[in-house]
Amino acid sequence: MAQILDGLKISKEIKQEIKIEVAKITASGNRAPHLAAILVGENGASKAYVNSKVKDCAEIGFQSSLFKFASDISEEELLDKIKELNENPEIDGFIVQLPLPKEMDQEKIIMAINPKKDVDGFHPENFGKMALEMETFLPATPFGIITLLERYNITTEGKNCVIIGRSRIVGKPMSILMGRKGNPGNSTVTLTHSYTTDIEEFTKNADIVITALGNPHFLKAEMIKDGAVIVDVGITRVENDSKKGYYLAGDVDYESCEKKASWITPVPGGVGPMTRAMLLKNTILAYNNSGIKN
C-alpha cells in the first residue's frame, strides 16, 4: 500500500511560511506583495483556478488583482493590459491564465510579459534560465512537484523518471527539472507524448512516473513497477450525477496503482494545491527582487 504525498498538507505549510514572511514585511512598514491575474473567456476550470488564487492571496496577506476579459477581446487590448501591469511598480508579479482563445497568438502574449514579473516562469527568458540552471522563476506545477518530493525526502538521484505529456506548463519543464543537476534532479528522464509508440514499455521500468496528459485513469497498475513513485498532475472534470455535476479525475487509476506504488499523490489534494502555493512563493521572490516597495 502506497504512502500518500499529501500536497494539501505541504501546501498549507508553505503558505504558513509565506504568511510569516509577509507579516514581517508589513510590520516593518513596507507594502505587501501584490499578485495579479488576467483571465480571458469563460472556461469554468480556469475561473475556479483564478478565484482560488485570489482567496490564497487574502489568506496569506498578499494584495491581489483580477482582470477579466470577454473571449472576443482583441490581442491589442490584452497587450495593453500586460504593458500596464509590466509598468505598474505596485504589482510584483502576474499571470495570464492559459489556455487563451485559439485565435490569439499565445507566444506573442507570453513574450510581452516582463520576465521579472513572470511568476509562471513561462517567458522564454525564464524558461531558458531554468534549462541552464540559472536562478529564475520555476513554473508553479513542476516547482510544486519537486518541492513535494523534497519535503518527503524522496530520492530522485540515479532514478528512471518517465513523464507523460510535454506541455509548456507541466511536462516539458518537469523533464528539465528532473534531469537537472541536484536533488531533486539527477534523474534519467524519458519524456513521452502522444507519438510515443509503447508508453507501457517505459512506465514499467520507471522508478518515478509523472502523468500530465489529461486522460482520466490512464495509468493502470499493470503499467507500473512495484514500489514506483507516482505523481498525478492530471485534473479532468468528469460529469456525473453528483450535486456539482462532475468529479475531478486524475490521470492515474488510483485504486489499482496505490496497491503497487511506494508513494502516490491523490487528486484532488496532491499536485493542484502545491501549484497554488508555488505561485505565491514565486510572487514573494519577485517582490524581494523588485527594489523599492512603497
Interface with ligand NDP, residue 214, by CB under 6 A: yes
Q: β-strand 236-239 against 246-249: which pairing, if any?
A: antiparallel
Q: Which does 166 bind (CB under 5 to 8 A by kind): ligand GUE, ligand NDP, none?
A: ligand NDP
Query: In this structure, what C-alpha cell is assigned to residue 90?
Result: 505596485
Interface with ligand GUE, residue 214, by CB under 6 A: no
Interface with ligand NDP, residue 91, by CB under 6 A: no
What are the backbone dihedrals phi and psi of residue 81, each rounded to the nearest 5 degrees, phi first? -65, -40
Is the distance from CB of 240 to CB of 216 less than 8 angstroms? Answer: no
Touching ligand GUE, residues 146-205 (CB under 6 A) = 169
Judged by DSSP in three states, 279 sits in helix
Residue with Cβ nearer ligand GUE (141 or 147) = 141
Span of 47-55, 78-86, 205-213, 214-222 interacting with ligand GUE by CB under 6 A: 47-55
Interface with ligand GUE, residue 120, by CB under 6 A: yes
The CA distances from residue 12 to 120, 154, 236, 266, in Å, are: 20, 19, 23, 16
Taking the CB of residue 145, how many other CB atoms lie within 10 A of it? 30
Residue with Cβ nearer ligand GUE (179 or 272) = 272
User: Which residues, listed in sequence order, are joined to residue 188 by a DSSP beta bridge?
Assistant: 160
Is residue 76 classed exposed, middle or buried when 0-12, 13-18 and 19+ CB atoms within 10 A define those classes?
Answer: exposed
Q: Which does 213 bind (CB under 5 to 8 A by kind): ligand NDP, ligand GUE, none?
A: ligand NDP
Interface with ligand NDP, residue 46, by CB under 6 A: no
Interface with ligand NDP, residue 195, by CB under 6 A: yes
Binding residue for ligand GUE, selected from 189, 267, 280, 284, defined by CB under 6 A: 267
Q: Which does 101 bind (CB under 5 to 8 A by kind): ligand NDP, ligand GUE, none?
A: none
Q: Where are the beta strands (DSSP E) in 185-227?
A: 188-192, 208-211
Q: Please tell me the distance from the alpha carbon of residue 153 to that of residue 147, in angstroms, as a whole number.
A: 10
Q: Is 245 annotated as a binding residue?
A: no
Expressed in percent and rounded to 5, the helix, strand and coil fractions of the chain are 40, 15, 40
How large is the greatest C-alpha to C-alpha distance in the chain, in angstroms? 58
By annotation, the residues acting in catalysis are 53, 97, 120
Interface with ligand NDP, residue 139, by CB under 6 A: no
| Binding residue numbers | 165-167, 235
In the complex, the residues that contact ligand GUE under the rule CB under 6 A are: 48-49, 52, 95-98, 120, 140-141, 169, 235, 248, 267-269, 272-273, 275-276
In the complex, the residues that contact ligand NDP under the rule CB under 6 A are: 141, 164-167, 169-171, 192-196, 199, 212-215, 233-236, 271-272, 275
| Binding residue numbers for NADP(+) | 165-167, 235
